[in-house]
Structure 1
Amino acid sequence: MLYSLITITSGVYIGLIILLFIFQSYYIYHPDPDVTDTPALYQLPFEEVYLQTADQIKLHGWFVPVANPRATLLFFHGNAGNITYWLEFLNIFHQLGFNSFHVDYRGFGKSGGSPSENGTYQDAMAAWNYLVTQRQLAPTSIILHGQSLGGAVAGWLATQQTSKALILESTFTSVPAMASELFPYLPVRWLTRYQYNTLENLKKIHCPILIIHSPDDEIIPFAHGQKLFAEAPEPKTFLQIQGEHNGGVFLNLPHYTQGIESFLLKLGL
């Protein structure tokens, strides 16, 4: 009886490990192919942009200009949906006086290909190159802003290029760290094919950093934001917001925008 129980338990445990290993990408990426709205929903001017990555993947995005921009914000969204899910943020950025450029990762929205960690990094570099080469923007006029998974992407890009600043919003320290918290009884640190190691990348960054996180975040624990801030080099700022992972900023939008505004003033913008 005991032997049978041990055998069944071991089989279930091994089965869970195998399933977790095989279906990792389904835990990481949740793309939506349907782009149902545009920035026109908020009466924002915008340009439809198509660009190509170094590995020949066609990406889709929107460039939203503003008269007399303080800077240009390159925004990377989270792991679900597509750029239409983040239109409210483009409206906020516009009101703050930013140009903004928001591009869908490969496999999301109208972008071709399938998502992968290296793929998202190539997508980020293609978006950067578009701003610097085709828009002829100075690197020091570009602010990188990533939400959730997008923070990991923005953090990686900040190790490759020198931007005006980096904003990490509701971002995790790394995928293995998150996975070990979600599955504490499985050896996920040794199984995961994804790293997205924001914590390690932060140590290589040499621009001002704003970290935004909520203690109410039910997806990325507040401790991740705290750890990122503790390890980030100076100059750095922490903005504590309220509410859940998705849309919590809208519970107290003035606090959110004032926190970003204060950070911008420190940058001389």
Structure 2
Amino acid sequence: MFVPDAHHYKDLDALNLPHQEVWLPVSTKTGKIERIHGWWIPHDHPISTMLYLHGNGGNISVEVKARRFRELGFSVLLIDYRGYGRSEGNFPSEATVYQDAQTALDYLVKERRISLKKIVVYGHSLGGAIAINLANQNPKVAGLIVSSSFTSMYQMAARDWKFRLFPIELILTQKFDSVGKVRSLKMPSLFIHGMDDTLIPVSIGKALYEAAPQPKQLLLIPNAGHNHREAEFDKPENLKIVQDFARRAVKASLSSN
């Protein structure tokens, strides 16, 4: 479920991206302060600010999407959950990654003075489940983009559970019940899924999309696998869908009460 990686593979200086390192304090149950590490990548005239939440493996140093999204006109904040990358803390849990995502959103609003109405939350894979929870808890964000994600951890685990006589629900403590939360969304949503995803089949991505309320949009990418690092995702027509979605979401959000 969690595969934290502390090794940094690439620095944004190598990508020639203007950025700032950020360190965000978060309190543990014992009162100890731990710091989340992230990169703030500003755009001079952003169409939106994107909070990017990565999946269960790697860390932000492998998220080359940051350059792509800035080129599309986004300011981007990427963070590593505690236990990942340079972030402090021990092995993560469902509760701690939710807390880390909320801390990052609070940073954008309180420190960067960015209105929730101008923020789009983007989550990939496990990050999609984290993004859905965050959007559910913060209904005034402009939009939500969920990439290659799943309905619930129970349904994902049950697909591969070999010990059928032993109920998986007895040991599954991390629920990530996205399909239960997605029904309550209050903002536009865009669901993206590779049609050749062998880790999370496209049928599961479709089921998550179908559970979401309108307005919503589904982008299925032929020949694309789970991580969307393939050229298929970079096709101009796909990138334009992401860009246009953010523009519409922010426009609708700013015009609402």
Residues 1:94 and 2:70 aligned together: yes
- What letter corresponds to residue 120 of structure 2 in structure 1? I
Pairs within 5 Å for 1:208-227? 208-227=188-207
SS at 2:231 equivalent:
helix
Contact 1:180 1:189 in 2 (8 A): no
Between Structure 1 and Structure 2, which shows a larger proportion of helix residues? 1
- What letter corresponds to residue 170 of structure 1 in structure 2? S
Contact 1:32 1:109 in 2 (8 A): yes
The one of 251, 256, 259 aligned to 2:232:
251
Q: Structure 1: which 5+ runs fail to align?
A: 1-27
The one of 169, 176, 182 aligned to 2:147:
169
Residues 1:198 and 2:171 aligned together: no
1:16-52 superposed Cα distances (whole Å, 9 cap, x missing partner)? xxxxxxxxxxxx1111111232222221100000011
1:61-82 superposed Cα distances (whole Å, 9 cap, x missing partner)? 0000011111100000000011
| TM-score when normalising by structure 1 | 0.86
SS at 2:62 equivalent:
helix
Residue aligning to 2:47: 70
1:81-107 superposed Cα distances (whole Å, 9 cap, x missing partner)? 110110x21011101100000000000
Following superposition, the deviation at residue 185 of structure 1 comes to 4.3
Contact 2:120 2:246 in 1 (8 A): no
Following superposition, the deviation at residue 262 of structure 1 comes to 3.3
Contact 1:180 1:188 in 2 (8 A): yes
Q: Distance in 2 between matches of 1:96 and 1:206?
A: 25
Contact 2:143 2:246 in 1 (8 A): no
Q: Distance in 2 between matches of 1:268 and 1:137?
A: 12
Q: Distance in 2 between matches of 1:154 and 1:245?
A: 17
Q: Distance in 2 between matches of 1:230 and 1:249?
A: 26
Q: Distance in 2 between matches of 1:241 and 1:49?
A: 33
| TM-score when normalising by structure 2 | 0.89
Residue aligning to 1:107: 83
Residues 1:138 and 2:131 aligned together: no
Following superposition, the deviation at residue 260 of structure 1 comes to 0.9
Task: Using the TM superposition, name which of 242-251 and 102-111 deviates more.
Answer: 242-251
Q: Distance in 1 between matches of 2:220 and 2:53?
A: 20
| 1:99/1:41 CA distance change after superposition, 3 Å | same
Contact 2:38 2:77 in 1 (8 A): yes
Contact 1:249 1:256 in 2 (8 A): no
Runs of 4+ in 1 over 3 A off after TM superposition: none
Contact 1:54 1:122 in 2 (8 A): no
| 1:252/1:204 CA distance change after superposition, 3 Å | closer
Higher RCO (CA-CA < 8 Å; seq separation 6+): 2
- What letter corresponds to residue 220 of structure 2 in structure 1? Q
Task: Using the TM superposition, name which of 108-117 and 257-266 deviates more.
Answer: 257-266
Q: CA RMSD for the aligned pairs?
A: 1.4
Q: Distance in 2 between matches of 1:81 and 1:212?
A: 20
Residue aligning to 1:23: none
Q: Distance in 2 between matches of 1:160 and 1:106?
A: 20
| 1:265/1:134 CA distance change after superposition, 3 Å | closer
State the identity as a percent.
Answer: 34
Contact 1:60 1:103 in 2 (8 A): yes
| 1:81/1:163 CA distance change after superposition, 3 Å | same
- What letter corresponds to residue 19 of structure 2 in structure 1? F
Following superposition, the deviation at residue 212 of structure 1 comes to 0.3
Task: Using the TM superposition, name which of 135-144 and 252-261 deviates more.
Answer: 252-261
Task: Using the TM superposition, name which of 188-197 and 172-181 deviates more.
Answer: 188-197
SS at 1:238 equivalent:
strand
- What letter corresponds to residue 9 of structure 2 in structure 1? T
